[in-house]
Amino acid sequence: MKKFLNQNSKIKSILICLFLVILIVISEIFSFFSYQNDKKKYEMEEIKWKKIEAEKEEREKKEEAEKLKKEMEDDFAFFERYFKEFKKTAEKINNPKNPSEIRATMYFVLDSKYSFAKIAMYSDKFIYIKADRIMKYTLSNGEKLYVFENAVVKSKKTHKTINKSSDVYILDGNLFCMIDYNGSIVDSMTTRYTDPESLKVILNENKLEIPKKEAWWMEMDKYLYLRRSKEEKEEKKYRKNTSSSSPYNYSPNPLTQKELEKMEREENRRDRMDSDEWEYEDREEREYWESEEYWGEEGIEKEVY
């Protein structure tokens, strides 16, 4: 009897253990499938949210691109209208492959080597250039150098701004300006008339620097005083004949309020840039005069010859 009971207890223990093992296995299987189901739900939710975020980001990018495109098109339309409103044609350049024209509010020819226009625009087959002043030099080798002060260059093909708020040049029919090249601002020139698509980084700096230097000496030696005198007389004459004191109305036709505000914002931005540049140069100069390089290690002023 005792032996039977012992055997029964063993069987009972085995059955209990077997039941527990089966329970654990079933529990593990259930947990595994439950985990897989939760994981699938999470992944589906994650995909859903990523899709929503991607769609939102794509929508924002599209809206931003449309906004920038509209601004670009509005800006280009302003250039077209602004050019057409000029009544005075300063110069026409009859190049059969790239005819061009300069229109201006003021235009003077001082002699056969120098002329200038103020508040002016240049237009040819490829570009518009809007500038505060355009000066034309006939150099000693016979080449024509056009200097556009504080210029904005627009491509007629893409309507994009090629150059903004810096001086640009046209020499021997090619455009010279600064462009963004791999994150750096570099000097560039066109190789096919003024076509912006042919802009290349300038490898030979003398190609423009030598003509610029000659033009600078011509300006300083003879034309600067004459040009300023002409400009002052013309501006006094204009102000005398108009009731408006706004400098922005010194243009071919009165501009809209939106255009006036845009020009004013651009001028304020240039003033801030000039102010920051002068502040930086003043700080550099002050640091030099206070440095040991000038005073020496013992604080004695060095003689500079």
Q: Could you count the other beta carbons within 10 Å of the beta carbon of residue 257?
A: 8
Average pLDDT of 212-225? 91
Provide the pairing of β-strand 184-190 with 174-181. antiparallel
Cα dihedral 151→156→159→161 (10° resolution): -20
pTM of the shown model: 0.64
Average pLDDT of 7-30? 75
Average pLDDT of 284-288? 55
pLDDT band of 44, cuts 50, 70, 90 = confident
Mean pLDDT taken over the chain: 78
Q: How far apart are CA 187 and CA 171, in angstroms?
A: 14
Q: How far apart are CA 62 and CA 128, in angstroms?
A: 28
Q: How far apart are CA 267 and CA 5, in angstroms?
A: 107
Q: How far apart are CA 201 and CA 140, in angstroms?
A: 26
Q: State both tokens at 165.
A: 């708020």
Average pLDDT of 244-254? 44
The full length of the chain comes to 305
β-bridge mates for residue 171, sequence order = 145, 174
Choose the weakest-confidence range: 3-7, 39-43, 85-89, 123-127: 3-7
User: Counting Cβ atoms within 10 Å, is residue 5 exposed (0-12), middle (13-18) or buried (19+)?
Assistant: exposed
| Furthest CA-CA distance within the chain | 139
pLDDT band of 129, cuts 50, 70, 90 = very high
Selected residue with higher pLDDT from 28 and 280? 28
Q: How far apart are CA 234 and CA 44, in angstroms?
A: 74
Locus of tokens 């501009």 = 255
Average pLDDT of 33-54? 81
> Cα 175 vs. chain centroid, distance in angstroms?
18
Output the 3-class SS for the chain: CHHHHHHHHHHHHHHHHHHHHHHHHHHHHHHHHHHHHHHHHHHHHHHHHHHHHHHHHHHHHHHHHHHHHHHHHHHHHHHHHHHHHCCCEEEEECCCCCCEEEEEEEEEEEECCEEEEEEEEEECCCEEEEEEEEEEEECCCCCEEEEEEEEEEEECCCCCEEEEEEEEEEECCEEEEEEEECCEEEEEEECCCCCHHHEEECCCCHHHHHHHHHHHHHHHHHHHHHHHHHHHHHHHHHHHCCCCCCHHHCCCCCCCHHHHHHHHHHHHHHHHHHHHHHHHHHHHHHHHHCCHHHHCCCCCCCCCC
86-215 CATH = 2.60.450
